[in-house]
Structure 1
Amino acid sequence: MDSSTSRPAVVIDNGTGYTKMGFAGNVEPCFIVPTVVAVNDSFINQSRSSAKGSNWLAQHSAGVMADLDFFIGEEGLSRSRSNNTYTPTNPIRNGQVDNWDAMERFWQQCIFNYLRCDPEDHYFLLTESPLTAPESREYTGEIMFETFNVPGLYIAVQPVLALAAGYTTSKCEMTGVVVDIGDGATHVVPVADGYVIGSSIKSIPISGKDVTLFIQQLMQEYNKHDKEPAKYIKHYRGIKPKTGAPYSCDIGYERFLGPEVFFSPEIYSSEFTTPLPAVIDKCIQSAPIDTRRALYKNIVLSGGSTMFKDFHRRLQRDLKKIVDARVLASDARLGGELKAQPVEVNVLSHPIQRYAVWFGGSVLASTHEFFAACHTKAEYEEYGASICRTNPVFKGMY
């Protein structure tokens, strides 16, 4: 057996806002860092000016320094604030990789500076958005096999991993709907026996960052919060990153009106007015009819923006109203001759849902089937990057 299969696999969940990374078998990721890369512009500009002057040695030196002088995560953000020569870049926008050079730099720092491991000694599990193009998987495979020389790679769809993390029994239920609300993207994804029903995926243009922006617009109070400030209002203090000056703010009714944008989106945007429960219902209704009851029964939450108090109860209540109304309408059309069976609606909330995607990857990458399902370096050298377009669903958990 290859020695790399005896070591824990590296699990990296790249999100729009934050990246979670660690080793398979752990309950929580080792590091959670903002998905930001700050590159020194002075070396890039120097390289361009050297190219015009045909000074190949200066051009080469500037290019090498540009490849080395960069920072990621919180360190990258702090450098860009304190030094104007560093420009922050977001490699991922709305769940899709937007800048592959920055993404390669980001992975480099993740592997060598944070996880401090040799990529040639570990299999890798990376995650992707459910709407990622096959060409993007090829780019990922080229970087991992060519740049980092990894022995094996598996690119998993994020909702499938979240579903694997959301099980409540000894056996993992791989049929359900994943409501994944991250910082930059919100997806409603139906999964049947581990396979994503691609034609039924729904995506809405409201995500975690919109909740933050909406709260910033609502920094005032309601009457009941004024009458009982100690009960409803939270006091926050902090330090401004640029000036170092302290600041404080009171947040009251904004705490519940923030996540309300998912249930009443018209209060935030006039362009998208369909509530999240209605989007989930449309998603399930567009799935094959023999999977719908199982999908309603297992709705799994994923992402930090689903961690609001009682978010799952509100979602289950509103969705149940929609489903019950449809059942009553069906009974009325049949005139009482036949009565439809009630549909069970269940929205699962669990303590690990903030890192559900990463935790699901950690669990699945701990199974023996994982290594057999991975694409290997030898396969890449023989067939090329096209092998990364598809990843087999392995059944180690159910």
Structure 2
Amino acid sequence: MNSLTMLYEGRNLISEKPVVVIDIGRAYTKCGFAGESAPRCIIPSEFLCKSTGASKKVFDYETRDQLYQNFVEFGHILFFKYLLVTPKDRKVVIVESLLNPSLERDTLAQVLFSYYELSSVCMVPSHMVSLYTLAVPTALVLDIGYKEAVLIPVVENTPVLHAYQALALAGEAVELNLRKLLESQCKEEEQFYLKAKPLPNSTVEDIKVRGCFVTKLDRAQMIQASVKEPSVSAPTPPPDLPYPLGGDRSITIPGTSRELAYEVLFELDNDLMSIATMILDAILKCPLDTRVSLAENILLIGGTSMALGLKSRLQQELLDLLVTPQYIKKLALKKFCFHNPPAKENYVAWLGGAIMGATNSIVKRSVTREDYSKVPKIPDWADLSFNCNDGVKRG
């Protein structure tokens, strides 16, 4: 056995091969092993393209062949650079959204079985396995990621699919709003610089994470009133924040930009929708006897939900919307409660998959390489024909 093989297989000489758990997000990917309390790594969902020499996002594709190759290249990074294991004959849990396109999940399964020769693959819905971290059967799970916010109520460990809500209000929308605010509110000479040389997406993301926060509802209403009516005075803005750009230049992040960046999540669109109305509309679509339990068991997951002040503002928005004509006669709720998961919000779903991967459930829910060779299809959790007590039904 050469040294390279020993490097990858060293941990398997001690015990049985641990199950690999992977959560491929639009912006970041979490990967590690079942039974552990945190992922081994959280890395951008991108790889170095050999043909162009530039970074390429995993989900940046035009054809299925391109997506297949993207998964192959990204899989090499996960297995051989960060996890340091050989994927052949290993079990894997893939944490995915229930709304994940079939093309992407089928292509990923083809790569895992045909190229990496895994022994079994278990794809689990992120909204449901997130509740494994809390040991509660009923909750309203809101995933605010990078591309979109997806909300699915879970009642007695069963996703209520007809009540799902999805909006393109997430990290990307916040960064676009922040970029516009900086270009209009920075000092005049800095505005010229930003328009001539736009900030990289990674820099805007860093400013968002380090310097921006979600303001209180009353301050947001005062700011909106001052914009509509100049005679109304705006509240005192928070302090400006100097931000270095390399070693020879810096810009000043205005306090108003820091405070207003996340307001895009709460502004009503043309359909009168926001992340707050998503919660109320989802509860309305659920049975009457479950509405109180859902309102008192709200779980926020996803990287954008880690924003400072988001839970407090969201609770204020929900209570404020309850007395509006749209909901006052439909919902008789008195309070909303938010769970504090035992992990950071950005990898709660991964932790749920790690918990499930350490139980016997993975045996019943997994698709083996032998079964996949006969029927090249991954069961969909929304398809009741596959959800049998005696395991996964195929064909």
- Matched with 2:44 is 34
**Mapped contact 1:211–1:259 kept (Cα < 8 A):** yes
Find 2:255's aligned residue among 252, 256, 272.
252
- Matched with 1:106 is 74
**Mapped contact 2:322–2:328 kept (Cα < 8 A):** no
**1:315–1:120 CA distance, 2 compared to 1 (3 A):** same
TM-score (norm 2): 0.72
Identity score, percent: 23
Instruction: Name the Cα RMSD after superposition.
Output: 3.3
Q: CA deviation at 1:31?
A: 1.3
Query: Hey, what's the Cα distance between the residues in 1 that align with 2:253 and 2:322?
Result: 39
- Matched with 1:347 is 338
Residue 380 (1) aligns with residue 347 (2): no
**Mapped contact 1:4–1:123 kept (Cα < 8 A):** no
Deviates more, 1:190-199 or 1:149-158: 190-199
Query: Hey, what's the Cα distance between the residues in 2 that align with 1:393 and 1:113?
Result: 37
Q: CA deviation at 1:8?
A: 2.1
Find 1:128's aligned residue among 96, 109, 113.
96
- Matched with 2:153 is 190
**Mapped contact 1:312–1:348 kept (Cα < 8 A):** no
- Matched with 2:59 is 92
TM-score (norm 1): 0.71
Find 2:361's aligned residue among 350, 369, 386.
369
Map 1:258-273 to 2 at 5 A.
258-265=261-268, 271=270, 273=272
- Matched with 1:235 is 242
Q: Deviations over 1:294-334 (max 9, x none)?
A: 22121110111111222112212222333466899549xxx
**1:292–1:213 CA distance, 2 compared to 1 (3 A):** same
Residue 7 (1) aligns with residue 7 (2): no
- Secondary structure in 1 matching 2:88: helix
Q: CA deviation at 1:341?
A: 6.8
**1:119–1:308 CA distance, 2 compared to 1 (3 A):** same
**Mapped contact 2:137–2:155 kept (Cα < 8 A):** yes
**1:387–1:207 CA distance, 2 compared to 1 (3 A):** closer
- Matched with 1:311 is 310
Query: Hey, what's the Cα distance between the residues in 2 that align with 1:305 and 1:19?
Result: 14
Q: CA deviation at 1:7?
A: 2.8
Q: Deviations over 1:205-238 (max 9, x none)?
A: 2210111121122233797667xxxx63333224
**Mapped contact 2:34–2:358 kept (Cα < 8 A):** yes
Q: Deviations over 1:244-276 (max 9, x none)?
A: 75534334232231122111245xxxx565221
Any stretches of 5+ residues in structure 1 without a counterpart?
42-84, 332-339
Map 1:323-338 to 2 at 5 A.
323=322, 329-330=328-329
**Mapped contact 1:163–1:174 kept (Cα < 8 A):** yes
Any stretches of 5+ residues in structure 2 without a counterpart?
1-12, 187-222, 224-233, 390-395
**Mapped contact 1:15–1:92 kept (Cα < 8 A):** no
